[in-house]
Amino acid sequence: MHEASIVIARPERPAQLVLLFHGVGSSAANLAPLGEAIARARPDVMVVSIDAPFPSGLGSGREWFSVLGITEQNRPERIAKVMPLFLDVISQWQRTSGVGPAGTVLVGFSQGAILSLEATQTEVATNPAERVIALAGRFAIPVRQAPPRLRYNLIHGAQDAVVSHTFSVAAAEALKALGGDATLDLLPGLGHGIDARALQLVIGYLGEQTL
């Protein structure tokens, strides 16, 4: 777990653990404003913005896996290589907070969303979280399973030129076809980013009752 991860809010007895995962070339600090907004709206929630473990090959910021020379063919292998570390980070913060998977929410943007979504497709015995909120994300390869008692909230800018919103559309359809619990919010006029509408959606989903 990289030491630059930021604990934004830590109530004495957190009702929920929210872990934020940034995009490639970014850092934990970039998602701190999102975390602060969540903490204001949900003072009973522990919020941590996770710093990715490796320096980014893009020249600044950090990353979980390199996007240099990335293709549809080699992306899954790169994600599989780092997935044990990603899952271990989640487990570490669950132990630190005293909140288990049933009270954990993964909120990821771009590469952070990709890792959060793919974490639900592993063959581990239990889900790493009870909810994944994916902002401008995608599955590395088409959905393979829709774990029970796990909710997906896919939020995507309709004008995203980096990660096409069509990935979220296809993912939502596939999850539902497998009996999964998934919502899809396409935001007109939004590119590859997070705006006030996306923020309010995140806060709203965090306020929903767990399964």
Q: Where are the beta strands (DSSP E) in the chain?
A: 6-9, 16-21, 45-50, 54-55, 62-63, 104-109, 131-135, 151-157, 181-187
Task: Name the active-site residue from 56, 160, 165, 168.
Answer: 160
Using CA atoms, how far apart are residues 111 and 25, in angstroms rounded to an integer? 10
Task: Name the active-site residue from 27, 56, 110, 168.
Answer: 110
**What are 112's two structure tokens?**
């952070």
Residue 173 per-residue DSSP state:
H
**What are 109's two structure tokens?**
């943007």
Task: Name the active-site residue from 91, 164, 181, 192.
Answer: 192
Using CA atoms, how far apart are residues 211 and 207, in angstroms rounded to an integer? 12
Helix segments in 98-158, DSSP class H: 111-118
Does residue 110 carry a catalytic annotation? yes
Helix segments in 98-195, DSSP class H: 111-118, 165-177
Does residue 160 carry a catalytic annotation? yes
* Amino acid (1-letter code) at residue 86: F
Using CA atoms, how far apart are residues 58 and 60, in angstroms rounded to an integer? 6
What separation in angstroms does the CA of 166 have from each of 101, 106, 138, 161, 197?
Answer: 29, 21, 9, 11, 19
The catalytic site residues sit at 110, 160, 192
